[in-house]
Amino acid sequence: MQTKDKYSRVAKLFDKIERNMPMKSVKENAVQMLNGKILEVGIGSGASLEYYPKDADVTGIDFSIGMLELAKKKSKLLDMKNITLLDMDIENMSFEDETFDSIFSSCVFCTVPNPEKGIGEVYRVLKKGGKAVFIEHMKSENEIINIALRFLNIFTKLILGTSLLRETEKTIRSVGFSKVVSRNIMLGDVVRFIVAEK
């Protein structure tokens, strides 16, 4: 079963878990940093939608139909009139180069099959001078923490196709952003808040 199908199968359960995660203020702060024409990659069930202004110009993409269906329901409940939700693979986005002023991702690149290609696509569709904000979990610099992550990774890979051992910050820094600022927000350095400017 492909990763996108695994997420569709557990969409409702995943949405309940995500709504109870201690990340609400972090996501709200991230969304407040976005402006202009916004792209949210891996929008999932739409957990971040409540933080956008109702008139925000937002495009959300995901490769899981089950997740997108939940996001569409939330956007209607929130009366978001300027949101477009699309079934699209981050690794092969159909947007023109330099389409968006701001891009947001939250716990996405642990699941993208080829994260280097996906982050390269984020860089491609972001306008010159634009900002990409990432909330991502990844491999730690602490090997003791990584022992636990390696054990848990056995199950997350099997159930969701999600890796706990990605080096996402290194990948973000490698694609050509002019400035990258990172801070640790949870579990030591496992969950990081990264702002990258093109």
Q: How many CB atoms lie within 10 A of CB 97?
A: 10
> pTM for this structure?
0.89
Containing 8, the helix (H) or strand (E) segment is: helix 3-9
Where do the domains of the chain lie, and which CATH numbers do they carry? 3-197 (3.40.50.150)
How far CA 150 is from CA of 44, 61, 153, in Å, comes to: 25, 29, 5
Rounded to whole angstroms, the Cα distance separating 85 from 83 reads 7
pLDDT tens for 20-48 read 666 788 999 999 999 999 999 999 889 89
Radius of gyration of the chain (CA): 16
**The total number of residues written for the chain in this structure:** 198
Contacts of 151 (CB under 8 A, 6+ apart): none
Beta bridge partners of 126: 100
What's the average model confidence in pLDDT over 115-135?
A: 97
pLDDT digits (tens, 9 = 90+) for 66-123: 889 989 999 999 998 899 999 999 999 999 999 999 999 998 999 898 999 999 999 9
Nearest to 137 by CA among 103, 184, 173, 177: 184
For residue 3, is pLDDT > 90?
no
Please, where are the H alpha helices in 44-186?
65-77, 115-125, 143-159, 168-174
Sign of CA dihedral 4, 151, 105, 180: negative
